[in-house]
Chains A and B, each alone.
Chain A
Amino acid sequence: MENSSTGSLATTGLAPEAGPAQLTSQLRVALIGNPNTGKSTLFNALTGMRQRVGNYSGVTVERVEGRYRRSNGTAVSVLDLPGTYSLSATSPDEEIALTVLLGLAPDLPAPDVVVLVVDASNLERNLFVVSQILELGLPVVIALNQVDTAAAAGIRVDSVELAMQLQVQVVETVATKGQGIDVLKRAIERASALPLPERSFELPAPLFRAVQPVEAVLVQAGFHPSTAAMEALRLLAIAPEGHLAGIPGLEGEAERARTALEEAGYNARAVEAEVRYGWIAEVVEATVHRFGSAGSSRTDRIDAVLLHRVFGPLIFLLLMAIVFQSIFTWAEPLMTAVEGLVGGVGNLAGSALPEGDLRSLVVDGVIAGVGSVVIFLPQIVILFLFIGFLEATGYMARAAFIMDRFMRGVGLHGRSFIPMLSGYACAVPGIMATRTIENPKDRLATIMVVPLMSCSARIPVYTLLIGTFIPPIAVAGIFNLQGLTLLAMYFLGTAAALVVAGIFKKTLLKGPSQPMIMELPPYRLPNLRSLLLTVSHRAGLFLRRAGTIIFALTIVLWALATYPKTEVVADVTDGAAQEQQLAGSILGRAGQAVEPIVRPLGYDWKIGVSIISSFAAREVFVATMGTIYGVGSDADETSVALREQLLAETDAAGTPVYTPLIAVSLMVFYVFAMMCVSTNAVVVRETGGGWKGVKWAAFQFLWMFVLAYSAAFVVYRGGLLLGFAA
């Protein structure tokens, strides 16, 4: 940044905090541009597999960083900023992008070079954010991307003329084919040595006069004159929030400027967009050449079918059915394989270690615990392959377009639909998928209700209880009471999710109704490499974060179920020994201690133990029931021995412990209760992490538990009143 021009607006540097960049020899590059410009593909082409995904501190905007090596061996770090149409900071993504570029983001120095990714087939709209960034006083390189699709659409951009107009380097790229990447890297090298870009249009005199005092306040507050000029223009349309909040006198001067402009006959809110688009029109006129006929595009023809009044929703439902079905059926063999693998490792470790507590810790605690996390991986990978594919092709925006009216009924955005649907497979990927929802409150409301969708981990619980207690009676000739009960459980969860989301949006997460202004991007074939990279990011994120927390908690759970040791009476079966051992453990005693709490629901202490043990993962309920009823902890939901035990179980007075009513009440409890440590861990992370995330996760756990308990109580007590007793 040693170059300084003598112009009145553009010189070096930024806000005063921009120092640390000079301390490292490493070159820092930030990638920015409109959504759907192929920015992420370009990022992947630049950095390859060397990437790290995280969050910006305090917010849930995804922070993607990567690096590549220069010919001289030193590293270049690349930050992939969120896609933005402007730096107006009307969304969290835009605010992040602006603060990073200004060097005001915590723990992130200002970039040394900004690479602006511009879609050659839509230069006009893309130039808006370009015109704002040119005024930040940073070295800029333009990557004119997707020149191939532009050419196919009959659009040619004169990159030499564009470079002349903008006074920055322009490199033509086709990121999907890796074209232009080397040239781009050389341009990045040179960028810092070239004169800094500056505002390339003049403001009309009344506008120039009106913003002068606003600029002065910003310069006074430590902003560089060039940055201050850009911010002052921006403030005509919006209130000083985010990094501009709390600057004394700023809003007052901005308001005076607006008044002065209105008196001079300008629309103050629109004037920045008008002067920028006025300049853009001249640039486009000089650089964009159209050839061939502008007939209906491929996207128009596809949308005529996919957004058709009748076929559109039908195709959408069909697609969702395929996604949903494959999460269940395709994942099944993979999950079985993972289970087998975990079992195999467990056996191997079991035979290698001497009998005793260490073996129990390794096999029943660590390996089984980690296995219970890894088991979700196939579903996550499959779901994100689909979501990634739908996003990359451009269909995701169409899905939101079709579903928006429906979701609006409960105060949500069309984009909330897919995460909620994903919740049927597993809440973890569903919650991770909420990242496509732009508005923080909508996103939080969606995260709160996704776990109400009955996930696949509830299936073993439903199957055991329905198979044992609900008779397979035919209903209305074609339906079966067992199947209808299962359907009722899914319906109950879904209806509750919609109702609760509506309540949250009207109370806790109330806010001005959010706009649904969304581009419907042209359809594209997805880039396989980018798709696989995205999926592996998500999978890695899940394994790392959820894995560490689950790992710790399963060990705790194991210890609670193992200690203190009970002297087992000789010559009883293995199963009976396990039962006695569990009853004497802390977990078993806790179950007996909570009996007064679960008694009103009709449950005894054994069910209490099973519920407590399944707080980490719902399906553990079945294994614990197996242990308690002495048929061994490897019992599963189809185990005949376990079913017979449950039916035969009586209390001291000889009346059966389990009735169909209790089974239904128990299932209702599982429909609503948040019993999954993986989900808790992901909610902590996705709601902001740290203490803030813990509070949201705890809140969610509590309201879901209260809902579960009340619903189970109503079902049981109501059932008794209606005469459905034993």
Chain B
Amino acid sequence: MSRTLVSIQPGESARVASVGGEAGAARRLMDLGLIRGTPIRVVRVAPLGDPIEVSVRGFMLSLRRAEAEHVVVD
């Protein structure tokens, strides 16, 4: 089974393999540069456990676990 962004621990990095899920959200993530091969690092989890903060292409992005589940990583 392929790993998704949700399974990456804070402080750890991975590479994006594909982005799926709802078309609008997927499109938004791809516009922001989450495409095949992009390095991505999970920075932290929000105090209430959701959303998570990631570092990608030199900026910080927050997304919910529900969205992170559709980001498949290598």
Contact = CB atoms under 8 A, between A and B. Distances in A.
B11 interface: no
Interface residues of B, number: 35
A273 B49 contact: no
A308 B43 CA distance: 12
B28 A515 contact: yes
Interface string A83-126: 00110101100000000000000000000000000000110110
Contacts of B49: 405
Between B29, B31, B50, the greatest number of chain A beta carbons within 10 A of the residue's beta carbon is seen for B31
Given A124-B58, A515-B28, A515-B63, A273 B35 contact: yes
A391 to B, nearest CB: 16
A91 B66 CA distance: 19
Nearest to B38: A277
Interface residues of A, number: 46
B27 A401 contact: no
Interface string B46-65: 11111101000111111110
B37 to A, nearest CB: 9
Interface in A250-292: 267, 269-270, 272-274, 277
B31 A397 contact: no
A63 to B, nearest CB: 23
Contact of A88 (B18, B31, B58, B60): B31
A307 B67 contact: no
Given A239-B23, A307-B47, A520 B28 contact: no
A404 B18 contact: no
A85 B29 CA distance: 10
A715 B57 CA distance: 58
Contacts of B5: none
A517 B47 contact: no
A515 B22 contact: yes
A404 B64 contact: yes
Given A401-B46, A516-B64, A269 B33 contact: no
A307 B53 contact: yes
B41 to A, nearest CB: 12
A380 to B, nearest CB: 29
A48 interface: no
Contact of B36 (A85, A274, A309): A274
Given A88-B28, A515-B24, 10 more contacts: A122-B58, A125-B57, A267-B18, A270-B19, A408-B50, A516-B62, A516-B63, A517-B25, A517-B61, A519-B32
23 contacts: A122-B59, A125-B57, A128-B31, A128-B32, A237-B26, A270-B18, A273-B30, A273-B33, A274-B36, A277-B38, A309-B47, A310-B47, A313-B48, A401-B62, A404-B51, A404-B64, A405-B50, A515-B64, A516-B51, A517-B67, A520-B53, A520-B62, A521-B60
Sorted nearest first, the 5 A-B pairs with minimum C-beta distance are A405-B48, A515-B25, A86-B31, A273-B30, A520-B60
